[in-house]
Amino acid sequence: MMLPRQYSFEVRVPASTANLGAGFDCVALALELYLTVRATVLPAPGARSHARSRGVGASAELPSSDEENLILRAMRHTAEQENFRLLPVRLAVKNEIPMAGGLGSSAAAIVAGVKLASAVSGKKIAEDAVLRYAAAIEGHADNVAAALLGGFVVTLVRADGGVAAVKKRWPKLLRVVVITPEMSLETSASRAVLPKTVDRGDAVHNLQGAALLVAALEERRYDLIWDAMQDRLHQRFRERLIPGLAEILAAPQMPGLLGIALSGAGPSVIAVVAERPEEIGKTIARQFERHGLKATVRQLGVDHEGLVVTEKRSSRI
């Protein structure tokens, strides 16, 4: 009797930093820090999907059941939306992205799940549908677009839930330093402190900043990045949740530092630099340390590939 062939698919998804100051919920940048997930189809009758995780922080404590695991939930959601039966899988997860750190860990997991559902089912899902499903689960589109596409992305969510996304290359000269204090901050808590309405002047300021950032990067006017990343819509409200953030954002520009911002919902901070990344990272980390928070400094390249999926076939089981 010929036994079924076991097969698996592996995805690698980058971390991401969103907002970059003024671009609240509309711009993001993919970073060379990765979530890698291998999904092995389980052909045995009665098999159930489950996951095993390892990596930074509390990665090993991530839920393993298909009811709770975010990757498996995204796979199931995709199958329901596309109306196909999802085969049971075993997930092996390796995570380099700090959870609840403002670096797109949930977006990476969701995008991984949507693409793995497509891969294991053999059903091709259009890119706009992938973005729609992922944004619906995540609640916003910027991080998921960067995780899927890589590079610097600009997004807009349409009234019907569809996502318009444009990918642009990030200049090689500009480097990114990420400073992550040893604390976790759930996105829901960080969003809860934001006001329901905003001043028109503040809204106009952020529109100007987001537009200027895209133009400055395109035209290599790096001298304008500092002004372009100044925010009035979200960072000042989140300062109360992150000890040291107010001082970091209020600090004067230093040589080599082109822009600084809270990364997504936080608590990580990103610095866009042209030179002296180590010195700048240590200077920012010291502000967290003054408030009793140890901080990890990472110099990260920009990921230009986005999600990568490969098929892994093994011998018959």
| Structural domain harbouring 17 | 5-169+303-316
Read off the pLDDT of each residue in 64-88 and give the average, rounded to a whole number. 90
Same domain assignment for residues 196 and 64: no
Same domain assignment for residues 84 and 161: yes
Same domain assignment for residues 296 and 311: no
Predicted confidence (pLDDT) per residue in 180-212, tens digit: 999 988 888 889 999 999 999 999 999 999 999
Read off the pLDDT of each residue in 238-263 and give the average, rounded to a whole number. 96
The Cα 140–Cα 155 span in angstroms is 10
Here the tokens at position 52 are: 């095993």
Same domain assignment for residues 156 and 223: no
**Full DSSP string of 297-309:** EEEEPBPSS--EE
Read off the pLDDT of each residue in 89-105 and give the average, rounded to a whole number. 94
Same domain assignment for residues 153 and 208: no
pTM, whole model, 2 decimals? 0.92
Q: CATH number of the domain at 187, please.
A: 3.30.70.890
Same domain assignment for residues 73 and 152: yes
Is the pLDDT at 60 greater than 50, yes or no?
Answer: yes
Same domain assignment for residues 103 and 180: no
Same domain assignment for residues 256 and 118: no
The Cα 127–Cα 51 span in angstroms is 26
240: number of Cβ within 10 Å: 10
Mean pLDDT for the chain?
93
Q: Which run of H or E residues covers position 233?
A: none
> For the chain, how many residues are written?
317
CA atoms within 13 A on the CB side of 197: 2
Q: CATH number of the domain at 38, please.
A: 3.30.230.10
Q: Given phi > 0 = left and psi -120 to 50 = alpha, else beta, which region is 108?
A: alpha
Same domain assignment for residues 73 and 179: no
- In this predicted model, which residue has the larger pLDDT, 309 or 4? 309
**Distances in whole angstroms, Cα of residue 213 to Cα of each of 156, 200, 202, 251:** 16, 20, 16, 20
**Residue 211 is which amino acid?**
A
- Would you say the C-alpha torsion 167, 238, 101, 129 has a positive or negative sign? negative
Is the pLDDT at 3 greater than 50, yes or no?
Answer: no
Same domain assignment for residues 310 and 295: no
Query: 257 in helix, strand or coil?
Result: strand
Query: 313 in helix, strand or coil?
Result: strand
For residue 313, the model assigns a pLDDT of: 66
Same domain assignment for residues 128 and 273: no
What's the structural domain count of the chain? 2
Longest Cα–Cα distance of the chain, Å, equals 73
Same domain assignment for residues 294 and 311: no
